[in-house]
Amino acid sequence: MSEDKLMHVTDAEFESLVLKSDKPVLVDFWASWCGPCLAIAPVVEELAEAYEGKVAVAKMNVDQSPATPGKYGIRAIPTLILFKDGQVVEQIMGAVGKAVIESAINKALS
- The pLDDT of residue 73: 94
Query: Cβ distance 45 to 53 under 8 Å?
Result: no
Burial class of 9 by CB neighbour count within 10 A (0 to 12, 13 to 18, 19+): buried
Q: Out of 6, 34, 47, 60, pick the active-site residue.
A: 34
Query: Cβ distance 48 to 6 under 8 Å?
Result: yes
Q: Is 37 a catalytic residue?
A: yes
Whether the pTM exceeds 0.85: the reply is yes
Q: Out of 27, 37, 74, 77, pick the active-site residue.
A: 37
- Residue 96: pLDDT band (50, 70, 90) is very high
Dump pLDDT digits (tens) for 41-86.
Answer: 999 999 999 999 999 999 999 999 999 999 999 999 999 999 999 9
List of domains in the chain:
3-109 (3.40.30.10)
Residue 108 CB partners (closer than 8 Å, separation 6+): 24, 55, 82, 84, 89, 90
Dump pLDDT digits (tens) for 3-52.
Answer: 468 999 999 999 999 999 999 999 999 999 999 999 999 999 999 999 99
Of 31, 40, 57, 33, give the one whose Cα is nearest residue 94: 40
- The pLDDT of residue 4: 64
- The pLDDT of residue 77: 97
pLDDT value at 1 more than 70: no
